[in-house]
Structure 1
């Protein structure tokens, strides 16, 4: 090495690096320090980016809601153009749409956990049919032979038996996957065929009907709804809960030194949530009972019907309330419990999760048992709505459940997924199906559209993950 090159390379002759300003700025609203890159990035992102950053609205959620609104408007105005009237954006159709979404939405919340942990469950439709058959036979044959027809607890025992059957079948799948080292695709594909066959053999292909009258209320309908008063009461409670959640969340952020949203963003999010709740209540209350049922109800209660008739609101249907309850429970389970943290840890890296002390195998059994239990709840809704249990109940539901979870943002690569996204995905899928039925599309066209939407959702998820890297 020459002297000149040596002189240039000596540490004493190198240019000393200029001291940088600390990339930390004081967050006055929370008392915490955070990197100074945040405000700079927001300035460059424009007003829309600043708004989304301040309100912390999920962009994927915003995209799903936008797609849902476009689907609703498209079907409604297409009906007006083709038939002279739009039948989609009516209180009757929207009320029925929420009821039809309930069973798929319940199962989609469980499918999120299955897919997050890098598995798949193709047997949910068959499990639904099996659980429905167990509950139907329990009400129509088995229990009446033991305790007689007049016992009032038949429907309760039937529901417990159906949920237990779903949990056991799901646990069996999880055991074969976790301890038998059989791919979930193969196990659940076999389950799709096996449990459909078992349901057929249990009743020899017969339709089990009628079911317990109290049980049928869980399927919705005029009597399976809570009415206008209780719907408004529930809406007010929901608005108060939204306000409390925002207030408590802000206090928790301050307590632990995390950045908080601006006050105007908190007010906007709370007002938006309450407006959506109030709008939902207004829609379900705008749909009244059919006239024939009103006359039957008035005759049974000794009420005189005036010339103009009586308007009785449906309000929230019980299946919708079940879906809301399941969604809240599953959201709490995935975001506020150790079980939920373990699920996403396994999905992010199963090997690292096992090295960290998580019993991945037993967790897999519990996840699939939970999936089976949710299939049992969906079976309650579906069979009660039909007032019967049939061998074909739940056919192809696995397609809609998986599509709902994927459209809702659950990544097939694992580790990413939300409960509310899956419910919105279920609503979107059911909106497509209902809209195509109203328009008059053939069933073949409906299957083409559903399959295409599923492939498109996976494609968009792939692009999103590439950009996120």
Structure 2
């Protein structure tokens, strides 16, 4: 009898605990899949921290990790829209390489002869030229897919080969360098970061934006009669968002300039060199700000604009979307045009970071971009995906790669791990969708 009572009590306690957790997630509306990715990311970070003897979770490595993630994260935000509509884009790495070479040639060879060296408009014209070329390539792919009914897999596979070859023909295989000084700021580095003060200002503005967004969402729900989250849940989400933002700013500000660069800076500006050295914070890197800005814009496009609703409607049921009057073909063209633009932005980040445009630039980036979107919860069956999840997926992929580099693992094995992770992510998505039915 006592054993029966003890068992019953244990079951009730377990049920109560499970009910409390379920109630918490319902109240806060936290995406459990996104939370699962965060958990996986933390496990990866802690595991590499132990295996590398404390080298992984240093401010220097985390800062570099954020910069390395930026270009793939930018492209992953567009890949979400592509995959949501049941398409695929295998050409993003080649478009990155081609547009990067176009921007490199413009600022290293063509524009200096017209405007002169170090002209302030050089980087703007080079970036604009790359974005225009990327948009035209994307529109060309989208038009073939939409109006000629050629599968996106074939079109973009052809694009992968064509634009990689075209990259070589632009300069006959030569590397183009160096880049314009202002253009290089988009690649990060000592000069390509905003410093201690500006980083805290950005962090505070971001926190204000988080709180304002939650307040606006609550007012909108009340206005249209939708269920509202409990006040404690609103406070919790605000505090959590601000904690993550300010914690990230603190990590970025904890990474200081190398001693030799700081000494040159001190000598150039007549600053006395203190006994303990001069500590100058890098702050948030410019490519990270670009990636976050792109993420915000793409989130707004996907969730707030009519175009975004059309994208998810097409992914959910293309036939129904067509019958509802959505111009599905033109939506497809626009999606691939956006993808081309994002490839050009990613190319700018990559080219600026390397301070050169090379023929090998962007190789295998299509793999990492697709993997980031899929790991981030974008379903290959279409209709489901989030921009935030794709950015987090890009961070997961880059964390794996960064950790393996610190462990001295060879590149071929790194690719094996990436391939396995991609397959596992697709399998988990299949299992999740089957259980959700």
The Cα shift of 1:302 comes to 1.8
**Partner residue of 1:243?**
211
* Aligned-partner Cα distance in 2 for 1:90–1:151: 38
In the alignment, structure 1 residue 50 sits paired with structure 2 residue 20: no
**Partner residue of 1:304?**
272
* Aligned-partner Cα distance in 2 for 1:44–1:448: 40
**Partner residue of 1:390?**
358
Q: Runs of at least 4 residues of structure 1 off by over 4 A? A: 42-45
In the alignment, structure 1 residue 327 sits paired with structure 2 residue 281: no
The Cα shift of 1:143 comes to 1.2
* Aligned-partner Cα distance in 2 for 1:50–1:150: 59
Please report the TM-score for the alignment, with normalisation by the length of structure 1. Answer: 0.89
The Cα shift of 1:422 comes to 0.1
Which of 209, 228, 238 in structure 1 is aligned with 2:196?
A: 228
In the alignment, structure 1 residue 444 sits paired with structure 2 residue 417: no
**Partner residue of 1:39?**
none
The Cα shift of 1:249 comes to 0.8
**Partner residue of 1:64?**
37
* Aligned-partner Cα distance in 1 for 2:368–2:245: 26
Cα contact 1:127–1:195 (8 A) shared by 2: yes
Alignment of 1:170-209 (within 5 A): 170-209=138-177
Q: What SS does structure 1 have at the residue aligned with 2:70?
A: helix
Cα contact 1:43–1:50 (8 A) shared by 2: no
* Aligned-partner Cα distance in 2 for 1:150–1:410: 43
Unaligned runs of 5+ in 2: 1-14
Alignment of 1:122-141 (within 5 A): 122-141=90-109
The Cα shift of 1:300 comes to 1.7
* Aligned-partner Cα distance in 1 for 2:372–2:158: 22
Unaligned runs of 5+ in 1: 1-41, 81-85
In the alignment, structure 1 residue 216 sits paired with structure 2 residue 184: yes
Please report the TM-score for the alignment, with normalisation by the length of structure 2. Answer: 0.96
In the alignment, structure 1 residue 315 sits paired with structure 2 residue 283: yes
Alignment of 1:276-425 (within 5 A): 276-425=244-393
Q: Deviations 1:29-51 (Å, cap 9, x if unpaired)?
A: xxxxxxxxxxxxx9795111111
Q: Deviations 1:347-381 (Å, cap 9, x if unpaired)?
A: 00111101111111111100000000000000000
Cα contact 1:111–1:402 (8 A) shared by 2: yes
**Partner residue of 1:101?**
69
Cα contact 2:142–2:334 (8 A) shared by 1: yes
* Aligned-partner Cα distance in 2 for 1:165–1:311: 42
* Aligned-partner Cα distance in 1 for 2:239–2:137: 44
The Cα shift of 1:296 comes to 1.4
Q: Deviations 1:431-450 (Å, cap 9, x if unpaired)?
A: 00000000111111101100
* Aligned-partner Cα distance in 2 for 1:438–1:102: 19
CA RMSD, Structure 1 to Structure 2 (Å) = 1.1
* Aligned-partner Cα distance in 2 for 1:223–1:337: 36
The Cα shift of 1:307 comes to 2.1
